[in-house]
């Protein structure tokens, strides 16, 4: 087996902002009809214990996952994770930048 050390939590948190992920896909037959939507996600963390012990707080931490899906193949083609106050229209440019320029949308 491999004798590699695993990075610690702090290292992963610092580097996650700079990780580029390529999403594999198959091109549809009629160009790309991209559907954009988002959903809110609550992340579990160290605050969960505090809420169970002392009750809920007024401010909860949420993130929003914006995705672009090919309407024909239903494959995810673009993805962006933001804070909960960012709208779909604000990340549209970032989502479109993830689509290869030679592909017709």
Predicted TM-score of the model (pTM):
0.66
Per-residue pLDDT, 30? 79
User: Does residue 1 contact residue 75 with C-beta atoms inside 8 Å?
Assistant: no
Side-chain-side CA neighbours of residue 27 (13 Å): 9
Q: How far is CA 1 from CA 4, 5, 6, 93, in A?
A: 9, 12, 14, 43
Side-chain-side CA neighbours of residue 84 (13 Å): 9
Q: What is the pLDDT along the chain (105 residues), one digit of tens a residue?
A: 778 888 787 877 777 777 777 777 777 777 889 999 999 887 666 666 667 676 666 556 788 999 999 998 899 999 998 988 898 899 999 999 999 888 888
In this structure, what token pair is assigned to residue 14? Answer: 């610092």
Per-residue pLDDT, 41? 83
- E-assigned strands of 1-105? 34-42, 62-70, 76-83
Per-residue pLDDT, 69? 94
């Amino acid at each position: 087996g491999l004798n590699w050390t695993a990075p610690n939590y702090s290292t992963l948190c610092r580097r996650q902002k700079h990780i580029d992920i390529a999403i594999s896909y198959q091109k549809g037959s009629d160009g790309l009809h991209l559907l954009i939507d988002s959903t809110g996600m609550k992340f579990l963390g160290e605050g969960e214990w505090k809420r169970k012990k002392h009750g809920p707080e007024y401010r909860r931490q949420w993130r929003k996952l914006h995705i672009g899906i090919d309407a024909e193949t239903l494959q995810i083609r673009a993805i962006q994770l933001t804070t909960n106050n960012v709208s779909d229209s604000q990340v549209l440019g970032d989502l479109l930048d993830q689509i290869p320029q030679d592909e017709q949308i």
